[in-house]
Amino acid sequence: MIKRLLLLSIIIVSAAGISRAQIGTGGVYGTIVDDKGEPIPFANVAILQSGQLVTGSTTDFDGQYKIKSLKPGGDYTIKASVVGFTAQERTGVVIKAGQNSEVKFEMSAGVKLDEVQVVAYVVPLIEKDGGSNTTITGADIEKMPSRGAAAAVTTVAGVQDNDGAIGSVKGTRSGSTDTYIDGVKVRGGSSLPQAAIAQVTVQTGGIPAQFGDITGGVISITTKGASRKTYGGIELVSSGGIKYNDNNDYLFDPQGYHLLAGNVSGPLLSIKDKSDPTGKTKKPILGYFLAGEVNYVQDPRPSAIGAYYVKQDVLDDLRQNPIIQASDGSSVLRSELIRQNDLEWTAQRKNVRRRGVVASGNLDFYLPADVTLKIGGNIDFNDNRAYSYAGSLFNFDNNGEVINKTWRVYGRFTQRFTPKAPEDGERRKKSGIGSAYYSIQADYSSFQQQTRDDEHRDELFRYGYVGKFTTYKEKTYAFGTYEDENLGTIAGLIQGPDRDTLITFEGSDINPYLSAYTQQFYDLNPDAQGNYENLSQIEQDRGAIRNGDSPRSVYGLWSNTGTQYNSYSKLDNTQFRVMATGSFDIGKHSISLGFEYEQRKDAFVGYSPYALWELTRQYANSHLAQQDTENGMLSFDSNGVYTDTVSFNPLYTADNDYPNRGEGQFYIDYNIREALGLDPAGTDWIDIDSYDPDFYDIGMFSADELLNNGNNLVSYYGFDHTGKKLTSKPTFDDFFTERDEFGNFTRKIGAFEPIYIAGYIQDEFTFKDLIFRIGVRVDRFDANQKVLKDPYLLYEAYTAGEITTINGDPVNHPSNIGSSAVVYVNDVQNPSAIVGYREGSVWFDGQGTEISDPSILRTGTGIAPYLIDPDQEVISSGAFKDYVPQVNVMPRISFSFPISDNALFYANYDVLTQRPSTGNRLDLIDYLYLENQTSRINNPDLKPETTIEYAIGFKQTIGKRSAIELNGFYREMRNQIATVRVTEAFPRTYTTLGNLDFGTVKGLTVSYDLRRTKNLSMRLAYTLQFADGTGSSIETGVNLVNAGFDNLRVIQPLDFDQRHNIVVSADYRFGSGKNYNGPKTVTKGGKTINWLQNFGVNAIIRAGSGNPYTRQSNTTGTALGIGTPFTEGSINGSSRPWQFRVDMRVDKDITIKWTKGKEGGKPAKSSNLNIYVDIQNLLNTQNILGVYRKTGNPADDGFLNAAEHQPTIQSQTDEQSFRDLYAVAVNNPFNFSLPRRIRLGLLLNF
């Protein structure tokens, strides 16, 4: 049944026609000589897996062979045979991604055709091609004291460990390193079932030309392929997480980690093997591998110091009775009376669970030798609580929900061209081209993310809903006169604006803790007068809230009870890639070349739901604010005589252009009336807060209404403003011009669809004893969007070459001013004189003298470019042009020089570029409302970042079982993205991003590899690094820009400048049988008990110096945002403490025999049970991850004891409460590392 389901899956996947490109394959090469050292030409070399032929080759005239494009793995057998010599096999050959493994044969003359010498393959201690790369096998990862590839990657020299996560690689910024899974560039989640990982290769230097779009390193993960024999496994892991007493003690640990995993592999379709004369043997033609994990974690990120929460009985009371009202009508939040004795400590955070599913699968088609076809993919689905530290104390139950869905599929077709042994008469001819192959591959990836309240989901008006408010009104009159067309001027009571008299309230169970605020306010104030005669009296300062209001925070420190998660968004990113690679040998040259095409499509829509209520109240009825005074309604007695009153209806005026709507009538108002069954052109007053939240729909708004003049309630691209995915691509002009039938601008914005194309060629050859690898890669990045023609102008302006007169008077431009220089005048509307010029970002005064401060060119209304249309008020497509694709040429040069069989010197020079990873999408909404923008906007014209690396290294074996490697490197990082200010842009100065930052990294890595010696194997990695630059991220320069130091850059230590990083990975293991050397006992019956047979301990010891931070001289209230910090000393001139962590895994294998084998019959059936305990942070070390700049303390910023802040503290609602709650706030658990975590696991392989 399983096979049938898998076969159906194959048919479905194959029907999609997916094939994909190949990254991360390996190869094997070597020489075959006789026992005298003479080369043996035209010997046959066969590559086998599980006894089945994969491919093969023959040696050349010099006895050399090379086979490429092999899937990485550790289960290969290489067989060499030639007439007249005894055949040989090398078993357990490891093929590493991106590397060629050397396998030599020395053959002896023999005559027995059926004799084969079998020798186990030993991975060389040093690779001859040099380079900074490390490969860790799946078997090694399974023995490590944590799951997944990340833990393995952080044991590599040059890679920082961020408390269990992958940090900076050789001093580069976040996002500079790419991860590949089976050659698929990862977007979204990268988690894999541990059983699916065959090997992980980390390249931190000497990057081959086949890799691009990076400035850090490459992490290449290869998953397991199909097996020709059926096998599988089941795994169960748990860390308990169950509290068993009132002291907050948990079974094992407080994380509550639970996992169930399984894997299965084998042949799916088989045919009779024609080579077997009995016809009983079957030959697989299709195989499969499947692995999956289901996990549930109660607290994914517990802290070493735990966390505080309000005691449950106290919290329940606060939720029901959140306010206290004073005699003067003001209110006090009862939460601002909470003190330390009302809190409880817990080791496990509340309502932060994470659950997920990861799976990986591959289908291998066993085609004729030299042809391979593979289809595979993986998924990573998880559902997490959006933890908020501000909400953790009082409002943890309202954490949001984040759902991530990543899936990717790929297909790969490879064909190799195997050289054939020539006929006898041709044996002395040399082949011109050999060891050739080509591969065609394609992949498709999807990453979807949704953030929301887990109960309200996409019901946006439920967010922030308090209850039903019904408004009662009455007409108002005042004595005055009125001009009547029949009676002339009359006196009497003339109607004025309507007046609200009463707001009634009915609480709701949609958000009961929100309703409690207003309900208690009503209960405490039974008289409506002065309390709830109108909505404006129901205010947060008095403790009451309306629909869309949020409760007052607790001293500005903590979110109060009932505060809703205020976000709903959908992200939909896809990626399609096609790659073709090939390689061939010509003499001593190995030529490889390739091509890559990538198309991304990113779409997003997000809302701030709370504000929808206030926006609806503002827009509804607003077109009826005026009275129809032209048509007064006079009161008459029964005799038709005017009495004393003149009344008016609201004034409704139809829109001349769109008669279905009233003049000034908002679209939301129109739709509400229509939904209520009212005449949209009527003058009925609609009571917004009296309707059920499910009555409203986001589609009732127009795009401009939600954009709200730049105070956006929505952000979107690839979706429309109502959250519907666009089915067609709008034109650029559609955003500015397209309207619907009601005259609303649709403001459609297409998805972000950048295109990346690359090609490379690389030659690997030997010259005497030198091994060279010289390549060049050419990348072309097209953002595939519009950009501003001039970042200083949103409206088109004249240049010097276009201006010869002003107001009829001739103009003579200074001789040094080019024709393309923008002209600035003395008045935007009525220019009469030129006051300055600008060429690019260089400014000049009217006489052509270069100036550094363009503000001197301002007029009374600001900077004044000579506009082509001075009356233009809204940006148009005329201000934009197409993005100019960026082409980067990246040479890659490396060489290695084997000093001897035991030592190697190597060096490399790499140029790496990476497209902008953030802030480069064109956001037309920002430009449309630029005059109202105060935040930073994207720059769609960003250029790729560049890193140039120089490195030299030395490898040396020490004895027969260990080796050491030293690598010195220097990196220059250019064109890094930073926050910049575009000063004196028109119509206003704004903040955006630019390629302004730069930096350098100097470092030394030392690696030591000890192969298993008796019981011990060990790897040691040490990194010494000095990372300096002008910015650690795009945020570094924000404060300088905001302070008016436009684009000032200062060299300083970067945030990730960790000077010393030491990692020791050791494995101590006892074997079995003859290989057992541990303690044993012999019983009276003569039976030997090997107590530690198949028992092992794996430990990873990490130590690192603290990252830098900037001291400040004054005390500020960091938890409140009070005060401006002043730098003490130099930027990043201080360091946090060293960090130290030990992770350990203890495990034992037990063989379970299910049946006994019969001699000459079926073999015995057995399984292997591995029982293990993973202990992460064995010593429960409280490593400090963050400190406060004034004190250098992770738990105290000094605010509470600072004399200058005592008046502020004493003025709070309750001083002691404030002190207690502030102290808890600054004792942030995220300033400390993860605590000890213990996991018990059972793994059964069959």
Q: Give 25-41 pLDDT, tens digit per residue.
A: 788 888 998 888 888 88
Query: 37, exposed or middle or buried, with CB in 10 Å at 0-12, 13-18, 19+?
Result: exposed
687 touches 719 (CB < 8 A): no
Among 445, 449, 503, smallest CA distance to 472 is for 503
Determine the pLDDT at residue 204: 93
d(CA 647, CA 1210): 56
How high is the pLDDT of residue 873?
87
What does the alpha-carbon distance between residue 945 and residue 943 come to, in Å, rounded to a whole number?
7
Please give the domain boundaries of the chain with CATH numbers for all domains: 2-120 (2.60.40.10), 796-871 (no CATH)
Contact status, residue 247 vs residue 344, Cβ threshold 8 Å: no
User: How many CB atoms within 10 Å of residue 611?
Assistant: 18
Q: Which residue, 520, 987, 650, 519, is CA-closest to 795?
A: 987
Distance CA 218, CA 99 (A): 14
CA distance 1216 to 339: 7
pTM over 0.75: yes
DSSP state of 821: P
SS3 6: helix
Query: HSE of 731 in the Cβ direction (CA atoms, 13 Å)?
Result: 6
Which residues contact residue 469 at a Cβ distance below 8 angstroms, ignoring those fewer than 6 apart?
503, 504, 505, 535, 538, 546, 547, 689, 690
Q: What is the mean pLDDT of residues 890-917?
A: 93
Residue with token string 């494009």: 69
SS (H, E, C) 1090-1107: ECCCCEEEEEEEEEECCC
Asked if the model's pLDDT at residue 1000 lies above 50, the reply is yes
Closest CA to 984 of 870, 846, 878, 843: 843
Average pLDDT over residues 287-316: 95
Strand partners, 162: 165
Strand-pairing partners, residue 1017, are: 1067
CA-wise closest residue to 581 among 375, 438, 777: 438
* Distance in angstroms (rounded) separating the CA atoms of residues 536 and 539: 6
Measured distance CA(57)–CA(54) in Å, rounded: 11
The confidence score (pLDDT) of residue 325 equals 87
Highest mean pLDDT among 47-61, 90-104, 1177-1191 belongs to: 1177-1191
Say whether 446 sits in a helix, a strand or coil.
Answer: strand
Per the structure block, which two tokens stand in for 16?
């999609």
| Coil, strand or helix at 718 | strand
Q: CA torsion angle for 930, 934, 939, 945 (degrees, to 10)?
A: 170
Name residues whose C-beta falls within 8 Å of residue 612's C-beta, 6 or more positions apart in sequence.
460, 461, 463, 548, 696, 698, 713
Per-residue pLDDT at 370: 82
pLDDT tens digits, 929-964? 998 888 999 999 999 999 999 999 999 999 999 999
Which pLDDT value is given to residue 1158? 67
What is the C-alpha separation between 244 and 634, in angstroms, rounded? 80
| pLDDT for 322 beyond 60 | yes
Cα 710 to Cα 461, 594, 713, 874, 927, distances in angstroms: 21, 46, 9, 13, 9
**What is the band of 20 on the pLDDT scale with cuts at 50, 70, 90?**
very low
Q: What is the pLDDT of residue 1210?
A: 97
Q: Is it the case that residue 5 has pLDDT exceeding 60?
A: no
DSSP string for residues in 647-667: E-PBP--B-SS-TTSBTT--H
Q: Cα separations (Å) of 76 from 65, 92, 298, 538, 1239?
A: 16, 5, 42, 76, 34
Residue 432, pLDDT score: 64
Closest CA to 444 of 377, 524, 362: 377
List alpha helices for 1021-1071, DSSP H.
1038-1042
Answer whether residue 2 shows pLDDT above 50.
no
3-state secondary structure of 982: strand
246-250, 718-722, 832-836: segment of lowest average pLDDT? 246-250
- Phi, psi angle pair for 878, to nearest 5°: -65, -20
Residue 358 confidence class, pLDDT cut points 50, 70, 90? very high
Give pLDDT tens digits for 85-107. 888 888 888 888 777 888 999 88
pLDDT at 416: 86
User: What local confidence, expressed as pLDDT, does residue 14 receive?
Assistant: 35
Banded pLDDT at 369 (limits 50, 70, 90): confident
C-alpha 140/C-alpha 153 separation (Å) is 12
The angle at the Cα of 566, spanning 560 to 571, to the nearest 5 degrees, equals 145
Q: What's the whole-number mean pLDDT along residues 770-781? A: 94
Query: What pLDDT does residue 59 have?
Result: 85
**How many C-alpha atoms does 832 have within 13 Å on its Cβ side?**
2
Mean pLDDT of 224-245: 88
The helix/strand/coil state of 854 is helix
**Segment among 275-284, 286-295, 861-870 with least mean pLDDT:** 275-284
- Mean pLDDT across 488-501: 94
Query: SS3 breakdown of the chain: % helix, strand, coil, rounded to 5?
Result: 15, 45, 40
Phi, psi for residue 783 in degrees, rounded to 5: -65, -15
Where in 608-753 does DSSP place strands (E)?
633-636, 642-647, 714-717
The model's pLDDT over 434-463, given as tens digits with 9 standing for 90+, comes to 778 899 999 999 999 999 999 999 999 999
- Cα(392)–Cα(838) distance, integer angstroms: 52
Q: What does the alpha-carbon distance between residue 466 and residue 399 come to, in Å, rounded to a whole number?
A: 18
Q: Would you say 370 and 410 are in contact if contact means Cβ atoms under 8 Å apart?
A: no
- Does residue 113 register a pLDDT over 60? no
Q: Is the pLDDT of residue 723 over 90?
A: yes
DSSP classification of residue 1112: B
Report pLDDT for 16. Answer: 33
Q: Which residues pair with 486 in a beta bridge?
A: none
> What average pLDDT does the segment 186-203 reach?
94
567: pLDDT strictly greater than 90: yes
d(CA 149, CA 152) in angstroms, rounded, equals: 5
Average pLDDT taken over every residue of the chain: 91
Residue 988 has pLDDT above 80, yes or no: yes
pLDDT of residue 933: 84
Give the mean model confidence (pLDDT) for residues 1184-1189.
Answer: 96
Q: Of all residues in the chain, what percent carry a pLDDT higher than 90?
A: 75
Backbone angles phi, psi at 1172, to 5 degrees: -145, 160
Q: Are 533 and 499 a contacting pair, CB within 8 Å?
A: no
In this prediction, residue 3 carries a pLDDT of 42
| pLDDT greater than 60 at residue 547 | yes
Instruction: Classify residue 674 as left (phi > 0), alpha (psi -120 to 50) or beta.
Output: alpha
Q: Is a pLDDT exceeding 90 seen at residue 49?
A: no
3-class SS of residue 275: coil
Calpha distance 638→659 (Å, rounded): 39
- Give me the pLDDT at residue 248, please: 65
Point out the least confidently predicted range of 272-286, 460-474, 1000-1014, 1030-1044: 272-286
DSSP labels for 825-851?
ES-SSS--SEEEEEETTEEEETTS-EE
Note the maximum CA span of the chain: 137
Tokens of 1057: 């400048």
Please, are residues 50 and 227 in contact by the beta-carbon 8 Å criterion?
yes
Distance between CA atoms of residues 771 and 129, nearest Å: 7
Residue 1050 has pLDDT above 60, yes or no: yes
